[in-house]
Amino acid sequence: MSTANHFQKYVKHAHREDATGESIPTVGINASPIPVHGMKVDSQFKTLIEHLYSLKFKLEKEKKIHNRKKKGLPKEEGVHQEDKTNAKDAPNRIQIEGENVQKREEPTNRALMRRDDDLGADDPEGESSCPIPQLIETIEIYKHRNAEEQREKVHLIEKYERFLRKIRKRHIHQIGQIKNNVLLDVDFLIQKYRNVSLELLQIGRKKEKEKKEENRKMTEMCIAACRRFEADVKERAKTAMQEHQTEVAKIIGDAKKENAALKKKMYPFKRSGAYP
């Protein structure tokens, strides 16, 4: 019966830790219990459940041996048959009890502590055997609590994953908006500088056209001046030639007249023979 007493003390100690809140901290907005060591707590629960099942089988075996002693049955034969029966029914019992865990409601810590206190008051020295249904119920409580903690953990993880997905989606949306704004600004600047370039090009072309027109006008003015100068020179040369020809003709006429006058004056002298 020392094993049953040790088990009761262990269960009471575990319930007191759960009641004081030292072994399971609270994290999050709703303060849901989250295991500190993660997978270590799961392995400890599995080890505890296996240990409780072994204690259960031992207690059943001791109880049946005790009953057979009262009835006068041989010890070894009864133990051998019970071992075979327990070995065959153990997987089925574990499977059935595991399925029933999800269907039962979760008792509170106060009910567990009250039940443990009642057990301690009824059996203060641990001399009586631990009731098998209470062991099964305690195992189911721990299994259900472990499942609830796992569900709370999964729910919290999913909650934060959804939160992270929302943040990531919002950041992607903001990055997309920033990219669109930058692209719009770049397009605006490109269009602006393109318009400025076109204006400068048009101004340059206009100035070049004006310069060409000015050069053409200057060329035409020079050509006209040259032509006028040439015509003036030709006119002056023609006038000078005409004046020179007139003067030469006058000189020649005057010379002829003088020559004729001299011949007339010399004719009498030739007739007289004075002038050969």
Residue, of 229 and 48, whose pLDDT is higher: 229
Distance CA 115, CA 12 (A): 10
Closest CA to 115 of 104, 105, 107, 127: 107
Structure-model confidence comparison of residues 188 and 37, the more confident one: 188
Contact 120/8 with Cβ under 8 angstroms?
Answer: yes
Split at pLDDT 50, 70, 90, the class of 263 is: confident
Which among 238, 56, 260, 34 is positioned nearest to 151, based on CA atoms?
Answer: 34
- Region 37-62: mean pLDDT is 70
Q: pLDDT per residue over 204-249, tens digit each?
A: 999 999 999 999 999 999 999 999 999 999 999 999 999 999 999 9
- Rounded to whole angstroms, the Cα distance separating 98 from 144 reads 9
Largest Cα–Cα distance in the chain? 225
Residue by residue, DSSP assigns the chain as -HHHHHHHHHHHHHHHHHHHTSSS-EETTTTEE--SSTHHHHHHHHHHHHHHHHHHHHHHHHHHHHHHHHHT--HHHHHHHHHHHHHHHHHHHHHHHHHHHTTSPPPPHHHHHHHHHHHHHH-TTS-SPPPHHHHHHHHHHHHHHHHHHHHHHHHHHHHHHHHHHHHHHHHHHHHHHHHHHHHHHHHHHHHHHHHHHHHHHHHHHHHHHHHHHHHHHHHHHHHHHHHHHHHHHHHHHHHHHHHHHHHHHHHHHHHHHHHHHHHHHHHHHHHHTS--
Question: Which residue type occupies 75?
Answer: K
Domain boundaries defined on the chain: 2-168
pLDDT score recorded for residue 21: 43
pLDDT at 28 over 90: no
Average pLDDT, the chain: 72
Inter-residue contact 101 to 147 (CB < 8 Å): yes
Phi (first) and psi of residue 30, to 5 degrees: -85, 5
What is the per-residue burial (b if ≥16 Cβ within 10 Å, else e) of 11-36?
Answer: bbebbeebeeeeebeeeeeeebbbbe
Task: Name the pLDDT band for 187 (thresholds 50, 70, 90).
Answer: very high
**The overall pTM is greater than 0.85:** no
At residue 109 the predicted structure's pLDDT band, cuts being 50, 70 and 90, is very low
